[in-house]
Copies of this chain bind each other. A is one copy, B any other.
Amino acid sequence: MTRPISLFTGQWADLPLEEVASLASGWGYDGLELACWGDHLDVSRWDDAEYVAGRQELMARHGLKIVAISNHLTGQAVCDDPIDRRHQEILSPAVWGDGDPEGVRQRAAEAIKDTARMAAKLGVETVVGFTGSSIWKVLAMFPPVPADMIEDGYADFANRWNPIMDVFDAEGVRFALEVHPSEIAYDYWSAKRVMEIMADRPNFGLNWDPSHMVWQDIDPVGFLWDFADRIYHVHAKDTKRRLNGRNGRLGSHLAWADPRRGWDFISTGHGDVPWEDAFRMLNAIGYSGPVSVEWEDAGMDRLVGAPEALAFVRKSMFDAPDAAFDAAFSSK
């Protein structure tokens, strides 16, 4: 099973795609998971055949596959509440518009539909992304949260995403939700709930990114087994816990790389994700899709880290053998 190892371009969108492709290709990556921001991919031009062909040509020129396209930033606005200047910062002017929250949400939903259309045009199987959440803000459960407010949050998600998924179905494209704090699904049981809601929508699946699980003490390997048939994408991203009785789980509103944080993102392979167990589990459940390095480490230079992460993943990911070792004991 040879899974492509790709680089997610989201954290490189300050550079032109041409340059990112050149770097990734030079390091030996097999492909890219294209971010739909910066100049990397403009999903609003899905019906501009020349634009689409141009993107394909650029990638081909560098010998790279497009393993998936990712629209986390726009997806975030679909359900989020409140919508504020954090969103303005990450949305395209067209989606932000006048910034009226409900308008932003609806334009974001339309843009996600366009993402499906773009994926179809590019011949890409999977769109990766976020959903936002209207109930993430009530995480602390204080002020007391009426039970129906949680229910409303899940219903809001269903109402906003079902029409989106109709377009995905029509285009034959899958959506892979990244289980992530601030999204409708951010841990095991919230993912369980979301997948029950989406049980009848086989095109709705998950992007397994273990970096968000280890600091919550969720077992990312067991997660793969339990959601095996809906793992549609994999992010190779890592997290380091640094708990010492003063640093806590919630991060103290400190910036990335501040050593007082109780946890931090870290270059893939430097953290607490049990990678070898994870790759063996991916073999066990027969996952054959891309493994996409999402590189975030505010304490290391990305030009050092990205090729190192590729080497780490390549070494850690090996095939299962065909025959059992104890067959050799047989006297037959």
Binding site for B on A (CB under 8 A): 10-15, 37-38, 73, 76, 81-82, 85-93, 96, 135-147, 149-150, 153, 180-182, 186-190, 193, 213, 215-219, 221-222, 225, 240, 242-260, 262, 270, 276-277, 280-281, 283-284, 295-302, 304, 318-321, 323-332
Contacts and interface: CB of A to CB of B under 8 A. Distances in A.
A247 B137 contact: no
A73 B225 CA distance: 35
Given A298-B325, A318-B300, A253 B135 contact: yes
A187 B252 contact: yes
Contacts of A10: 328-329
A329 to B, nearest CB: 5
Copies assembled: 6
A250 B138 CA distance: 11
B298 A216 contact: no
A173 B215 CA distance: 40
A256 B147 contact: no
Contact of A240 (B89, B189, B217, B277): B277
B87 A181 contact: no
A96 B331 CA distance: 10
Contact of A325 (B244, B256, B304): B256
Contacts of A188: 246-248, 252
Contacts of A257: 280, 284, 320
Contacts of A246: 188-189, 218-219, 222, 245
A82 B187 contact: no
Contact of A137 (B93, B137, B217, B323): B137
Of A73, A139, A301, the most chain B CB neighbours within 10 A belong to: A139
B248 A331 contact: no
5 contacts: A11-B325, A87-B143, A216-B262, A300-B320, A301-B318
Given A85-B149, A217-B262, 5 more contacts: A11-B328, A86-B146, A189-B254, A213-B248, A257-B320
Given A189-B252, A259-B221, A262-B216, A319 B298 contact: no
A13 B247 contact: no
Nearest to A150: B253
A37 B250 CA distance: 30
A259 B245 contact: no
Nearest to A264: B280
B248 A217 contact: yes
Contact of A244 (B149, B245, B276): B245
A256 B320 contact: no
Contacts of A225: 259-260
A253 B135 CA distance: 8
A147 B255 CA distance: 8
What are the nearest 5 A-B pairs in CB distance?
Answer: A219-B245, A189-B252, A216-B248, A140-B182, A140-B181
A138 B255 CA distance: 12
Given A89-B146, A251-B139, A242 B329 contact: no
Of A15, A38, A91, A188, the most chain B CB neighbours within 10 A belong to: A188
